[in-house]
Amino acid sequence: MLKVKKMTALKFVDAHVHLSDEEYEGKIEDIVLDAKKSNVVALVSNSMNLKTSIKSLELAEHHAGLVYAALGIHPWNVNTLTDEELQQTTELILKHKQNKAVVAIGEVGLDYKYEKIWDKQMSVFDEMLHLAEKLDLPVIIHSRGTTARIVEMLPSYSLRRVLLHWFSNPISALSKAVEHGYYISEGPPSAYSNGIREVIRKVPITNLLTETDGPVRYFKGPFNGKMTTPAFLPTVVNAVAEVKNIDVSVVAEQICRNFEAFFGVKV
Ligand SMILES: [Zn+2]
């Protein structure tokens, strides 16, 4: 009983979720309500393309103070990206540079599975990183199979705040990322994946954020078969506390502080 009581007093943050995904359409009000009930105090709606960037922005303005927007082009969408859409996305980001609802460029990055369009991926990523530089915005990075490469290339940009979301490997890139002051975020696999738990063990708590990456569906363990929402976060934070062997209230508090430092918002 005591533990449950304590948990309700804690605050949670989701640094990486796709509220703008069409799978959540018609469910946002319930998700937001559930998030609030679970003491989730801030979440960053990431975007995949122009359409979801507009949607993330709308959601952040509608749920000001709880939902924030990250705008950008995901590597999975680079293949179908037209010059016009890239330009319009860039313009959208520039137009909202003073908008407090916009807290980051994301989700952007490189994905090894799409190596056939490597040059285009690279040029879109480069454009997004230049935007982040120019606007001094944090950047949220997808780096499946490309983490080591990305960690090597980032120092050539002047980026003050970098988040490697769902960092999984290699561990050698983790120490380099931490040396550069980058953050990493981990989500539901914290509760059941040995690989992710190893990353959590190694990363300093001051460089760690929590996420859900919803609506990603295939989470296992306690999340099996459930729709992914920010209401998963108390379980994620508990798992982090268990792995790090630190009191859950200390972990929750530190992660909120990290979120504030990274995104520049009060939670
Ligand atoms: Zn994502």
Q: Provide the residue ranges of all domains of the chain, joining segments of one domain with +.
A: 9-263
| Residue-wise pLDDT tens digits, 186-238 | 999 999 999 999 999 999 999 999 999 999 988 999 999 999 999 999 999 99
| Residue-wise pLDDT tens digits, 95-152 | 998 999 999 999 999 999 988 889 999 999 999 999 999 999 999 999 999 999 999 9
The predicted structure's pLDDT at residue 141: 98
State in Å: Cα 209 to ligand 1 middle.
14
Q: What is the pTM of this model?
A: 0.95
Largest CA distance in the chain: 57
SS3 assignment, position 62: helix
161, 138 contact by CB (below 8 A): yes
SS3 assignment, position 216: coil
Cβ atoms within 10 A of the Cβ of 112, count?
14
State in Å: Cα 6 to ligand 1 middle.
30
Pairwise CA distance, residues 193 & 198, whole Å: 9
Helices (H), 166-247: 171-179, 194-202, 233-244
State in Å: Cα 141 to ligand 1 middle.
9
Cβ burial, residue 255 (10 Å; 0-12/13-18/19+): buried
Q: Omega before 107 cis (within 30°)?
A: yes
State in Å: Cα 1 to ligand 1 middle.
35
Nearest to residue 185, comparing CAs of 157, 205, 155, 171? Answer: 205
Fold (topology level) of 9-263: TIM Barrel (3.20.20)
| Residue-wise pLDDT tens digits, 156-173 | 999 999 999 999 999 999
State in Å: Cα 44 to ligand 1 middle.
11
